[in-house]
Amino acid sequence: MAEKVGLRTRAAPPWRCLDPMVNFPQSTVRPFFCCLLLAAFPLQWNMPVACAAEPALTLAEARALALRTHPRITASDLRAQAARAGVRVAESANFPTLAANFTATGSSEQVNTRIGAAGSLSVSQVFDHAAIGLNATHLLTDFGRTASQIEVARQKSHAEDSFVRTYERQVELQVTAAYFATLQAQSVLSVARQTVTTRTLALQQVSALASNQLKSELDVSFARVNVEEARLLVARAESELESGFTELSLHLGERTPRHYALAEEPLPGELSEPAETFVAQALRERPRLVRLRAEAAAAAAQARADRAVNYPTVSALGSVGLMPVRDRRLEDRYAAGGIVVNLPLFNGGHDTAKLRESELKAQAAEALVRDEENNIIRDVRLALLKVQHTRARLELTANLLAHARTSHDLAAARYKLGASSITELSQAQLNLTSAEINEASAKYDYLLQRAVLDFHRGAH
């Protein structure tokens, strides 16, 4: 059994739990028994117990949870692992290949038929036999084509890793925006509820004065309109708060909306670095630009690999084995080796066209890098201007709120004295509510713009 205290609960005094079962005299036995219970269980009354309220959540926890559960990040991480496996596939060309073979042949008559084939090792005569052996092939050189293919795979792997970082930064920004939007909706809802309370009190006062013929029914009507406007503001703020929790929950992997006790974030200080510092950092660390540069490097490596197709390849071949079933004129074991040089001569212009295609793709990738650099410079400078604007708005909204409160207090005093109309008081109430909402929103706008600036400059 527990008593509810605000949003927390604490254990009820021991005698409350025993009241339904034990009937002690109120004057003597019950106080004595209660003292014994308090002495035996002092922590049951003094120690507060957490209730099943909204779970607490900080911005750092929200970001970490989203990075662990977001399916887009999981998919990009799997693609990055596949790309790293592709590097190993490309590197395997530098190692020899080894294959085991079993061959059995027969002929209708024993004839000394000489056979040979360029590019492979074979038995020099056809006899009835069965043989088992090992064949090895090793690429000696292809004049850089394999090395270029390995570089292509490595750069593609770097690009996929940058994809992961890009998605992580995007998810972090989305979570941050939803987090601050929810906090802002909470602040606006608090202002709206306080406005309803204040205007309801004003309506009661005006109604009392009107019942005593000190104010007109027109004043009462205006006061009622003000109350209804405040209630409409509450309804809109509640809807925005629910939307904020819905979006935040989805980013955190919850398919049903869930409410959290969000922690406030401290305001960061003013930025003292020049814009060139942020631009240089963005051009160096922005994940999307890193990815495009890796893709451009991969395209250039692919062009080098396609150019090397026109060069010869040199491979070493070897074969060893046994012939348990053979003609008596043959040895029971064999071993042979050789060198194969493959020189491409003509294939209908395929290699030339492939090289041209690769070179054009490399040029296009370089152009995309330059375009992205221009976009990043623009985004960083615009984000910095918005940060500076929202920082100045913090001071302006604070001054506006102070003046609006003073104006409201003066208008309320003048109205009570009969020196002004209800219209002047209503306007003062509207100005105060608007100033409170702007003041509540300015902080979260500034925090969000700082997060946007960090995203554009590639900060973690």
- Residue 231 sits in a domain whose CATH number is 1.20.1600.10
Please determine, for residue 425, whether its predicted confidence score (pLDDT) is greater than 60: yes
Sorted by sequence, the CB contacts under 8 Å of residue 243 that are 6+ apart come out as 185
**76 and 44 within one domain:** no
1-24 average pLDDT score: 38
Residues 101-119 have pLDDT tens digits of: 887 776 655 454 444 344 4
Closest CA to 286 of 63, 460, 30, 114: 460
Neighbouring C-beta atoms of residue 62, cutoff 10 Å: 21
Average pLDDT score, the chain: 83
**340 and 385 within one domain:** yes
Residues 240-255 have pLDDT tens digits of: 999 999 999 999 988 8
Residue type, 208: A
15-38 average pLDDT score: 40
**13 and 85 within one domain:** no
**19 and 99 within one domain:** no
pLDDT at 325: 79
pLDDT at 443: 92
Question: Which burial class, exposed, middle or buried, applies to 98 when counting CB atoms under 10 A from its CB (0-12, 13-18, 19+)?
Answer: exposed
Q: How many domains does the chain have?
A: 2
**179 and 147 within one domain:** yes
**320 and 360 within one domain:** yes
Residues 223-278 have pLDDT tens digits of: 899 899 999 999 999 999 999 999 999 999 888 999 999 999 998 888 888 999 99
Provide the domain limits for residue 225.
Answer: 59-456
Please determine, for residue 32, whether its predicted confidence score (pLDDT) is greater than 70: no
**109 and 32 within one domain:** no
**232 and 207 within one domain:** yes
**94 and 35 within one domain:** no
**71 and 26 within one domain:** no
**89 and 7 within one domain:** no
Please determine, for residue 39, whether its predicted confidence score (pLDDT) is greater than 60: no
Convert the chain into a string of H (helix), E (strand) and C (coil).
CEEEECCEEEECCHHHHHCCCCCCCCCCHHHHHHHHHHHHCCHHHHCEECCCCCCEECHHHHHHHHHHHCHHHHHHHHHHHHHHHHHHHHHHHHCCEEEEEEEEECCCCCCCCECCCCCCCCCCECCCEEEEEEEEEEEEECCCHHHHHHHHHHHHHHHHHHHHHHHHHHHHHHHHHHHHHHHHHHHHHHHHHHHHHHHHHHHHHHHHHHHCCCCCHHHHHHHHHHHHHHHHHHHHHHHHHHHHHHHHHHHCCCCCCCCCEECCCCCCCCCCCCHHHHHHHHHHHCHHHHHHHHHHHHHHHHHHHHHHHHCCEEEEEEEEEEEEECCCCCCCEEEEEEEEEECCCCCCCHHHHHHHHHHHHHHHHHHHHHHHHHHHHHHHHHHHHHHHHHHHHHHHHHHHHHHHHHHHHHHHHHHHCCCCCHHHHHHHHHHHHHHHHHHHHHHHHHHHHHHHHHHHCCCC
**65 and 49 within one domain:** no
Please determine, for residue 121, whether its predicted confidence score (pLDDT) is greater than 80: no
